[in-house]
A and B are shown apart, each in its own frame.
Chain A
Amino acid sequence: MNYGLPPLQDLIEYFKKLPGVGEKTARRLGFAILDMDDREVKGFAETLLQIKEKIGFCNRCGNFAEGEICGICSDKSRLEGILCIVERPADLYILEASGQYRGRYHVLHGVLSPLDGVGPDDLNLEKLKSRVDEEGIKELLIATNPSVEGDTTSLYIARMFKDRSIRVTRPARGIPLGSSLEFVDKSTISKALEKREPI
């Protein structure tokens, strides 16, 4: 649709880049911004700019962090000796919300996918190796999504540590087949974590 208002059209195009936002929602959001008072819009815009400036990745685990190290890595009350491996930071927040897991995390930023040209070098794996040594890790809980790629990645990681006395586990398959963590409810996640299985 064309309103003869190029700036509004641009804004709508940007909103459409967000997940789950189609033309209709983007238009509604665009008009909502026009309705906001100036101060609020300014605050919104500045927050958007700052979020990219201030938030980067944690040097240790790959989670989002304001500064070098994220809140979870610097939280002293976390269980030592175990790491939960996830594909993306978003997965980490879902597991956190379940409240079941009290250890720290490691974010891969992807999964093995030769068809997309993603190999081990593209994942946050070197850092994982050094962490296992430095932090005295005894168990790796691999919570990649139960897809072909996620499963294969977990097998790959299990093989990386097969000559070490490290327990490598995977959440029990309480998680519906082929679904991604994002669409699974909290209690399912809790149960799957509780009943994890060795690979």
Chain B
Amino acid sequence: MVIDRIDTVCFRNIKKASLEFSESFNFISGSNAQGKTNLLEAIHFFSLGRSFRTRRYEELVQFGEEYFFLRLRGRSDTGIDIRLEAGYEKGGRIRGSVNGKRLSGIAEIIGIVPSVIFTAQDIEIASGPPGYRRTFLDYTAAQISPLFLSDLKEYRRVIRHRNSLLRRYAGNGDPRGELPAWDEMLVEKGAAIVKGREETLREISSRAARLYGQISPGAEELRLAYSCSFNAPGGDTREALREALENSRENERRRGYTLCGPQYDDILLTLGEAELRKYGSQGRRRLVAVILKLTQALTIMERRAERPVVLLDDIFSELDEETTVRVRKHLTDRYQSFITSPREDDFPEGKEKSARFRVLGGACERVAPI
């Protein structure tokens, strides 16, 4: 997918913008709080049919206004012209259209503009609690297999049912003998989740290691390993989960919610022998988080017919110059990318096709190459 152009009206602090993009690099600079991330948010909106920052559409409407409107024009990899529109009026429903055809639900837009975005928060994949790594892995797994996504939704539903049962009978056992059926269901769906995650990790870990090696030549090896909260490596997932449920039965009844399952699993990230989260330097952690996101992009490219768009929000602030140059090199010719930075000189003019934009108080303009 290549995005040729974006038009926005009353989106965040951007009153009105009409921008034409390069099919390769797009550099967006401007001081803090001027609207760079807002512009990425507008571009990314078409990937999910919502913002990556909030689920509340009202927040996206410019202060003092009643609605926002977004339009994207682009081309699919097969050369089909695509025009996407999305609009929202306060108190109403989000509406979207594809090539003029109104969508019955905005979720139908998902998949047309596959994308990978790196935001300030994504450093947490390398240094934060396990939830960030699970989300990263689940999202990647869902890109590879649509079945994984339905398994994940079903698993979450099982947990919610089971928790409601545990809460209802808190401390009073299970008078109608319902729990064993829900346990079996949890084991079934939980095992499917673990299997999907492990397969995904097997597929992406060598890809991530290779990419890390290219961008940090000579550095320690990057390794990704699935760390199951209830099973030892090589053990039978179903058996282990059954046993874990058995062992936490009393505790679960007292606490009123499910205490074991893949919702407590993690990915162990190591550089050489050292666990990244504990021993990695700030720059290394940021780089690994970026590498993981770029691995996601490679995986989408491998598995899907459509090339993803890559959006990187201020990734270079802690990276040294050589690393920055290599990341840029990796992006060249692979993706259309949108990269922000508060410092204009983060983006020395390169050989590749590129476009520059400056954002000031919500006004976005394309500027001449420096």
Q: What is the CA–CA distance of A156 and B150 in the complex, to the nearest angstrom?
A: 22
State which of A121, A148, A156 has its C-beta within 8 Å of the C-beta of B154.
A148
Bound form: Cα–Cα A156–B182 in Å: 8
Interface membership of A152, Cβ < 8 A: yes
Contact A178 B150 (CB under 8 A): yes
CB-contact partner of A148 in B161, B164, B177, under 8 A: B161
Q: How would you classify the secondary structure of chain A's contact residues: helix, strand, loop or mixed?
A: helix
A155 within 8 A of B: yes
Contact A114 B176 (CB under 8 A): no
Q: Bound complex: CA of A114 vs CA of B180, how far in Å?
A: 14
Report how far A159 CA is from B183 CA in the complex, Å: 12
Query: How many angstroms between the C-alpha atoms of A140 and B168 in the bound complex?
Result: 30
B106 within 8 A of A: no
Q: How many chain A residues touch the partner (CB < 8 A)?
A: 17
Whether, in the assembled complex, A91 has its beta carbon less than 8 Å from a beta carbon of chain B, the answer is no
A177-B150, A178-B150 given as contacts; is B161 within 8 A of A114 (CB)?
Answer: yes
Known contacts A114-B168, A121-B176, A177-B150, A155 near B162 by CB under 8 Å: no
List of B residues within 8 angstroms of A151 by Cβ: 185, 188
Which residues in chain A, 137-169, are within 8 Å of chain B measured between CB atoms?
148-149, 151-153, 155-156, 159
Is B368's beta carbon under 8 Å from chain A? no
Chain B residues contacting A149 (CB-CB under 8 Å) are 161
| B367: Cβ under 8 A from any A Cβ | no
**Which residues of A sit under 8 angstroms from B188, Cβ to Cβ?**
151
Min distance, Cβ B191 to any Cβ of chain A, angstroms: 14
B residues bordering A, Cβ < 8 Å? 147, 150, 154, 157-158, 160-162, 164-165, 168, 176-178, 180-182, 184-185, 188-189
Starting from the known contacts A151-B185, A152-B181, A155-B180, 17 additional A-B residue pairs (CB-CB under 8 Å) come to A114-B164, A115-B161, A115-B164, A119-B178, A120-B176, A120-B177, A121-B176, A148-B154, A148-B158, A148-B189, A149-B161, A152-B158, A152-B182, A153-B181, A155-B184, A156-B181, A159-B180
Please, could you name 6 A-B residue pairs with CB atoms under 8 Å apart, sorted by A?
A120-B176, A148-B161, A151-B185, A151-B188, A152-B182, A156-B181
